[in-house]
Amino acid sequence: MNPTTYAFLLFVHLASAAFWVGGMATMHLAVRPAAAAVLEPPLRLPFMAAALGRFLRGVDVALAALWISGLAMFMAIGGFRGAHWRIHAMFTLALVMTVVYGFVRGRAFPRMRRAVADKQWPQAGAQLNTVRQLVALNLVLGTLVFAVALVGRAG
């Protein structure tokens, strides 16, 4: 693979990771707490469902771009045989994060959306709490991926 193609793939990979991890931080540390502070459940939960829906559509694209660019770069270095330990670590963390995201996207968020549509505020709130906990987990894992990528370059 030529250096320009690799640099482009690396840019796509990093931009997608920054969108996902940065978006999780924004939703978890700013949007949700602000909504909880100023909106009652009949307003807060539809707002959060709408905000999460928009964010998750962006994550769908970012996640596809992450896997495509990551696997292309992985193959360019010769797969597992040519990979530094940090590549193995990032790959493993990416798999875990993708499974967690799949649970949010395929189960917790749709349940939340249905509960919001039915105005079942306690159930919607419980599902939002599940989403919050899973986003917190993925935020920690995503931050760890960045740390592994950077620390691994020093050694």
How much is the average pLDDT of 54-74? 97
Q: Report the pLDDT value the prediction gives residue 77, as an integer from 0 to 100.
A: 84
Q: Which has more confidence, 8 or 86?
A: 8
Q: Report the pLDDT value the prediction gives residue 81, as an integer from 0 to 100.
A: 82
Mean pLDDT of the chain: 95
Whether residue 145 contacts residue 98, with contact meaning beta carbons closer than 8 Å, is answered with no
Please report which confidence band the pLDDT of residue 154 belongs to, taking 50, 70 and 90 as the band edges: low
| pTM higher than the cut 0.95 | no
- Residue 102 CA to residue 95 CA, distance in Å, equals 10
Indicate whether 3 pLDDT > 90.
Answer: yes
Whether residue 77 contacts residue 3, with contact meaning beta carbons closer than 8 Å, is answered with no
- Residue 91 CA to residue 75 CA, distance in Å, equals 12
Q: Distances in Å between the alpha carbon of 103 and those of 17, 42, 116, 129, 134?
A: 19, 25, 18, 13, 9
Write the pLDDT tens digit of every residue in 93-105.
Answer: 999 999 999 999 9
Which run of H or of E encompasses 98? helix 85-103
78 token code pair = 């010769």
Q: Distances in Å between the alpha carbon of 153 and those of 19, 119, 146, 147?
A: 22, 50, 11, 10
